[in-house]
Amino acid sequence: NYQALLDDLLSHGGLASLLLFFAFVVIGILFLMQLVLGTVIDTYMEEAQKELRSKRVKQAKGLMRAFGVLDLRREGKLRHKAFDRLLHRLRPSDSPFERQLKFSLLSNKYKACANSAPSTPGRPSTPGRLDE
């Protein structure tokens, strides 16, 4: 497409001018590719972060809704009986001992957190805790 330009470069400047011209073109293309690729990657990362935040919010809302269904007395904690029924329905292959073990491990974990965290008057210290 640029035969006249290439002929001028070869006739007046020789091989060095031609190499300089091609190096300039290659460097320019690489620079433009870097700009476009950087913009595409930044846009993708922003969208991926928005999607991740949206999934986390949906997950938290779902967990709070599920906890609200399980916490019938609105005490901010699950009783052993409700937890046992839930696990029995979700994992029927678990033995009663395994369900008891899971409950005790989770309730001890949240009891330790409750002892270290200051509580607000009128509110339970750890919402969503398991209690016997």
* Residue pair 84/99 in contact by the 8 Å Cβ criterion: yes
pTM: 0.45
The better pLDDT of the pair 20, 15 is held by 20
Residue 87 burial (CB count, 10 A): 17
In whole angstroms, give the CA distance from residue 72 to residue 112. Answer: 24
What pLDDT shows up at residue 123? 46
DSSP-derived letter for residue 123 is S
What pLDDT shows up at residue 19? 83
What pLDDT shows up at residue 111? 60
Residue ranges in the chain assigned as alpha helix (H): 3-12, 14-70, 80-90, 96-116
Burial 113-126 (b: 16+ CB within 10 A, else e): eeeeeeeeeeeebb
Does the pLDDT of residue 124 top 70, yes or no? no
Q: How confident is the model at residue 125 (pLDDT cuts 50, 70, 90)?
A: very low
What pLDDT shows up at residue 122? 46
Tell me: the pLDDT tens digits for 53-111?
Answer: 999 999 888 878 877 777 777 777 777 787 888 888 878 888 888 888 888 887 776 66
Tell me: the pLDDT tens digits for 18-56?
Answer: 788 889 999 999 999 999 999 999 999 999 999 999 999
